Each structure stands twice: as structure tokens, then as C-alpha cells.
Amino acid sequence: MRISDSKREEIESAARELGYIPNLTAQVLSGKASRAIAIFNADVSQYSTSVLAAQFLHNAVRFNYQLLIDTSFTRTDDEYCRDVGNMLRRSPDGVIVLGRLPSQALELIQIPTVVLQQYDMLGNRDGDLYPDLAAGGYMAGLHLLSHGHQKAVYVCTRIHSQTHDKFTGLRQAWQEAGLPDENLSVIEAMYLSEPVEGHLLSLIREGGCTCGLMSNDFVAARAMPFLRRNGIRVPEDFTLIGYDGNAFAYLTDPPLSTISQSYDVISSTALELLLERIEKKESGCDIPRLHRFIKPVFFQGGSCGCPCEPPPVLGWSRDMLFLEERFSDRVVTYEDFIARHKPIKKKDGETASNRLHPHHQNNQRKEAP
């Protein structure tokens, strides 16, 4: 309604005096946006998912949106349908799905959606965005090779996919270096009748493994004090790299080098994609999925053999949930990482290491005539 400036000021002044708050439900019924986004399957009992949810909360503010978060994970198909219906009654403008929803529950969502997934055991995909696990394993492999290692072990619960996982990327780096598959060992805890610890010690002491990629940061953080208790120093005797980029990586001794899932990029990309679909009014199951992989980043600690100063006991006002927030100088993007680690062809056909580490670059510059 068009009114004079003086009348508008009079109305707004009265609203302030009365403490009037517009009814969002009524505004939505009149066709206005709710400025709310629903997120399903945010299992906050799992560390990585809770961190991802926190990053969504952090980034939603930039887009002037609030989040409605569904924190359940394990439930029946009927319970999924019930919970989806309850969430939709709150009139979100769009939905972000972490993982999978049953088909009958997904069919209920007739508003814009974005689906974040990882590969399942069959390698099926029906999502928009995926963390590139193979790229992370490849980065870890290149970095370990740059330190001169030739025999490595991958420690995990089980290998979910034979074509797109962390170990596949690790093996790709080894194969590009001309090293045989026999130089890579795998410990799958799910299929062992004895504790993992004994197998790990055996591969180090008898199998000649000098480095390892751990499937997540919790495994890596637990492995370091265990190895120390058994007389194996990290990184002098055995170097390792974790996975996920959890915030506690800088608290280990030495600080843990890890492949970060890049939660900031994942959440920002998902929100931007969803807002684009909201604007275009793309709805429900008719949306063609994007099938885009999000590259990870590398957090340089000291467990990989790179020099790394420990964090100060005190030095900032609060602990950080995201590594990038406090240690952006130690985070290397995928593109920069590959540029530093990939070999370059020399004129005689041989290969040479291409800018392995920042500190190597500094050393070379100092020694140059």
C-alpha cells in the first residue's frame, strides 16, 4: 500500500511502542518467503556431521536465512514421512538433505532441494554435492611421497567403495610414482579378529611401512600416543596423515596433518545452489541433480614430517570449531596443493619434484645464487 512518509513513520512508531512483531505464518500465507531452510539428517551425535551443521548455521547468516534442523538419523520410513511432514508445516523456502531420505519421504518435498551425499557401497549416486574422498586420499599420497616414503598403510573400519574412496586416491598416487600395489597395506578393523594395534605395529616393525593414512582424525589422534608408548616416534619413525580436518588436530603432539572436508565450501555451495533453485522455483523430485564433487584442502601439521610450531597455550579468546578459522596460513587448497606436489617433466624426459612444500621453497630461494 502506498502511503505518505509521515503516515509510515506514525505507523512504525506505534508498532514500536506496542512491541508489535509481524506474524511470519500470515506473511507466508500471503505469498512472502519464510526466510527459513530445513536441513534433514543432521546427526549431531557424529562429530563431522555436527561440524557441518555448525558451518551451515555460520554461513546461513550471510544469506539472511534461518535454519530448521532435523537432528534424527536412524528411523523407519514411516517416521521419516512423519518428520518430513512436520517440518514442511513450518513452511521452509527450501530443503537440504544430508545423505538419503526414503523415496516416499522425498516425494513429499515439493519445494527446492539440495542433496549432499557420499558414495554408498554400490557406488550409486542421486545427489547434488559429494566430498571428493578419492581426491583427499590422492593428496595424502602425494604428500607422503614427497617426504620420500615408499611403503604405506591405510587404516580404516572398512573400505566402502572400490572405485571412489580415500584408499583409491592413495593408490593412484603410488601408481603414478611407479610403486607396486604391494607397497600399500590396508587394515580393515571390521574384518580383524584381533585388535588393530598389533597389526599396525607389525606392519611398521616387520613390514617396513614408514607412513600411513588414517581414515579419520580420531583414529590418527589415538594412534600417535599408542605408537609413542611402543617406542615409535611420530614423525621421525612413522609419519601419518588424518582425514576430516577436525578442530582438535592442532592440539595433538605433534599437531596432526589432515585432509579437511572443507565444510565451509560444502555448506556455502549447498546454500548458494539452494537459493538459486528457490529463485528459479525449481521444486521437489523434478530437480536434475548436479553431481558435483567438492575438493578437500590440506591442513599442514607436524605429523607428516613438515616443520610445525605447536600452538600457544594461550593466545586467543576462545577455541575454534573450524581449523580454517584460526590456522588459515596452514590450509592449502586442492589446486595449490597439486601445483606444489605434482612432478614436472624435465627436458631429458625425467621428472623432478615441483615445489614440494612451502618451507622447501624458502630453502631453495635462500640457497640460490
Under 8 Å between Cβ of 96 and 116: yes
161 burial level (CB within 10 Å; 0-12, 13-18, 19+): middle
Helix axes 263-280, 47-60, angle to 10 degrees: 50
pTM: 0.82
User: CB within 8 A of 185, min separation 6: which ones?
Assistant: 151, 152, 153, 154, 203, 207, 209
Q: Give yes or no: residues 39 and 137 share one domain.
A: no
Residue 98: closest CA among 45, 31, 52, 47: 52
Same domain, residue pair 185 and 203: yes
Question: What is the tens place of the pLDDT at every residue in 300-321?
Answer: 999 999 998 877 776 655 566 6
Domain extent at residue 104: 32-111+265-294
- In a domain, residue 5? The reply is no
Question: Residue 20: its pLDDT value, please?
Answer: 79
DSSP annotation of 230 reads T
Q: What is the CATH number of the domain that holds 207?
A: 3.40.50.2300
Q: Of 69-78, 90-99, 158-167, 312-321, where does mean pLDDT reach its minimum? A: 312-321
236 and 145: one domain?
yes
Q: Which of 80-89, 242-251, 337-346, 353-362 has the lowest mean pLDDT?
A: 353-362
User: Is residue 56 in some structural domain?
Assistant: yes
Is 116 inside any structural domain?
A: no
CA dist 61 and 267 (Å) reads 12
Same-domain check for residues 184 and 39: no
**At residue 196, does pLDDT exceed 90?**
no
pLDDT in tens, 235-252: 999 999 999 998 889 889
Q: Is residue 243 a part of any domain in this protein?
A: yes
Same domain? 193 vs 146: yes
Cis peptide before 255 (omega within 30 of 0): no
17, part of any domain: no
Residue 239 sits in the same domain as residue 105: no
Q: Is residue 68 part of a domain?
A: yes
- What is the Cα–Cα distance from 247 to 51, expressed in whole angstroms? 9
Domain count across the chain? 2
Residue 88 lies in a domain: yes
